[in-house]
Structure 1
Amino acid sequence: MAKAKSGTSLTLRERLQDWTVALVVGLLHLLPYRWRVPLAGWLAAEIVAPLTGMRRRIATNLALARPDLPEAERRRLIRAVPDNLGRFMIELFSPRDFLRVVAETPFEGPGLAAIEQATAEGRGVIAVSGHFGNYDVFRSGMIQRGYKVGGLYRPMNNRAFNTRYVRTIETLGKPLFRRGRQGFGEMLRFLRKGNMLAILHDQHMGKGEPLSFFGQPAYTALSAAQLALKHDALLVPVYAVRQPDGISFKVVLEEPIAHSDERTMMQALNDSLEARVRAHMGQWLWTHQRWKTQEREKRKARKG
């Protein structure tokens, strides 16, 4: 999405992009959910990905993180990753159908009992995931089970689309906290009351720490571990794994990360996500510039 200055009027480009999304979503909604989701995946993989350079970014990241991949698997993933993204987007914009899927999703793993105990004790919980599967399954599912779960989100660059996006994800569960000073303060007050936060930790953070991810330095924010240590909150890796039918999910709540120091805890989260991605390579968003700083350094070295 095009980036625009805050406080200025919406640009024509922002409006056109938003209208395009609305048109595509509207047309897809003419189909039953069981057909709508795979068609959205196909459109993303076969039309959107080639036009936007998505395939090139996926290939670049795979070459860096998994140079050992056979060529056939690399080609499969270049299509599978945008397919999962397309499914994810139409799922968000199909809240009534999606919430029915969430209601039928099994939740399993040692982290579930740990969260139940922490909640009973009035202790805050920080559930951490990545851009994997459909991470909103966890948040919505826990809210359906009676838990108070707040989500932290990053506003979209396109302000017109962001309004549509926030309205949609609010349908899946509230409260939501916008990334920034005000949202962070609201989030802290929510956590201190013994509630749960759902956070994604797998984006490049220029001011983060160069922890390891797939054997490469990946600048990682330490904030999830810092919050857990400061507020004695449980830190739990959680993943909504898309099942072979492409529609349903299974949520896995892993063993809570032991409190130690923030770097060790965040490296444990990176290792947890890496293991989950290795098991389901097509479900992680390989379009992210997760190793951005290293890529820049390599380009500078080649130019030098």
Structure 2
Amino acid sequence: MVGLVRGVFGVLRLLGPDRASNWGGSVARAIGPLMSVHKVALANIRAAFPDADDARVREIALGAWENLGRTGAEYAHLDQLFDFDYDNPRPDARVEVVGIDHFVALRDDERPGIVFSAHLGNWELPAICASRYGLDTTAIFREPNDPAVARAVHEVRSRTMGNLQAARQGAAFVMANVLENGGHLGMLIDQHFTRGVTVPFFDRPALTNPILGKFARRFDCPVHGVRVIRLPGHRFRIELTPPLDLPRDADGHVDPAGAMAAMTAVVEGWVREHPEQWLWMHRRWRTPAKPR
């Protein structure tokens, strides 16, 4: 299986980033609707956009499949995708960055920091951007279920990104140590977390991992959001927000649950703007075991 995965990566590599992306998008757009999770995607989109007609719902779902396929194929070219140069900007660059001054400030302020993101566009690019600009960041990632795929993806990530930490038992101690030493954490927050806190997402309750909110309270550090927008012509825009003004309790400490709700609200705004670039196939909304 490992050999097969590497063989696929090799073929994608030969195609080049643009043709590989096109191929991945076309395949996923054709095969995705035949899979059972396509029904999950359609149900999620209808619930999130109750005023959308069936044609629009299908359009968003197909776009989501295409974005997923493109992102998967682009793993073979992660070392080539990011070509933004702050000192010598090129009009024909594949990547543009909005809010690069925030990246620089995070790098130079000698404080810990937190950056949250979501499965939008090619969500691997922010970690590459941070690495290129010397921002000491540990990216928290969820390993693919298939060991062969996980190994191949890790090999690609390790060549292009900074520090990596799998979201497994004991990861919280590593994350805390990163912040204690003045480093930065990057994490996707838009997936279901069974033991999470309930936050509103598209006017429905969703469980989300509270750990970034807890760390924001403990370290009282800047919290930024970063997203990737897939643009026409195989281009991308990375946008880093200013630090969020998070909810605080009567004693002035960050409220973890309120912080996660604020971060999730930012993600919702991103998804509403480009719904065809989000991962609708995930069962994001599930009835909590009990209110929190």
2:80 to 97, 119, 123: 97
Identity %: 26
For residues 37 and 161 of structure 1, do their structure 2 counterparts lie closer, same or farther at Cα, with a shift above 3 Å needed? same
Contact 2:120 2:228 in 1 (8 A): yes
1:68 to 48, 51, 54: 51
> Which residue identity is paired with 1:128?
F
Q: Does 1:108 align with 2:104?
A: no
Mapped to 2, the partners of 1:83 and 1:96 lie a distance apart of 21
Mapped to 1, the partners of 2:206 and 2:5 lie a distance apart of 32
**Deviations 1:175-196 (CA, angstroms, capped at 9, x unpaired):** 1011123333222212222122
Mapped to 2, the partners of 1:271 and 1:147 lie a distance apart of 26
TM-score when scaled to structure 1? Answer: 0.83
Q: Provide the residue aligned with 2:256 in structure 1.
A: 262
Q: Provide the residue aligned with 2:110 in structure 1.
A: 122
**Structure 1 gap ranges (5+):** 1-14, 298-304
Mapped to 2, the partners of 1:32 and 1:290 lie a distance apart of 34
1:217 is paired with a residue whose SS is strand
2:63 to 69, 76, 80: 80
Contact 2:104 2:133 in 1 (8 A): no
Contact 1:152 1:198 in 2 (8 A): yes
For residues 158 and 32 of structure 1, do their structure 2 counterparts lie closer, same or farther at Cα, with a shift above 3 Å needed? closer
Which deviates more, 99-108 or 236-245?
A: 99-108
Q: Does 1:182 align with 2:165?
A: no
TM-score when scaled to structure 2? Answer: 0.87
1:255 is paired with a residue whose SS is coil
1:30 is paired with a residue whose SS is helix
1:192 to 161, 180, 190: 180
2:15 is paired with a residue whose SS is coil
For residues 28 and 192 of structure 1, do their structure 2 counterparts lie closer, same or farther at Cα, with a shift above 3 Å needed? same
Q: Does 1:169 align with 2:163?
A: no
2:28 is paired with a residue whose SS is helix
Mapped to 2, the partners of 1:58 and 1:102 lie a distance apart of 37
For residues 63 and 81 of structure 1, do their structure 2 counterparts lie closer, same or farther at Cα, with a shift above 3 Å needed? same
Q: Provide the residue aligned with 1:37 in structure 2.
A: 21
For residues 178 and 40 of structure 1, do their structure 2 counterparts lie closer, same or farther at Cα, with a shift above 3 Å needed? same
For residues 197 and 288 of structure 1, do their structure 2 counterparts lie closer, same or farther at Cα, with a shift above 3 Å needed? same
Q: How far did 1:19 drift?
A: 5.3
Contact 2:197 2:207 in 1 (8 A): yes
Query: How big is the alpha-carbon RMSD for the aligned residues of Structure 1 and Structure 2?
Result: 2.2
Contact 1:37 1:90 in 2 (8 A): yes
Q: How far did 1:243 drift?
A: 0.9
Q: Does 1:281 align with 2:275?
A: yes
Mapped to 2, the partners of 1:75 and 1:255 lie a distance apart of 34
Q: Provide the residue aligned with 1:3 in structure 2.
A: none
**Deviations 1:143-170 (CA, angstroms, capped at 9, x unpaired):** 1112111100112221222111211111
Matched length: 276
1:203 is paired with a residue whose SS is coil
Counterparts in 2 of 1:239-258, with a 5 A limit?
Answer: 239-245=227-233, 247-258=234-245
Mapped to 2, the partners of 1:251 and 1:92 lie a distance apart of 17
Q: How far did 1:203 drift?
A: 0.8
Contact 1:237 1:253 in 2 (8 A): yes
Q: How far did 1:254 drift?
A: 1.5
Mapped to 1, the partners of 2:146 and 2:164 lie a distance apart of 18
Mapped to 2, the partners of 1:74 and 1:102 lie a distance apart of 38
> Which residue identity is paired with 1:282?
E
**Structure 2 gap ranges (5+):** 87-92, 249-254
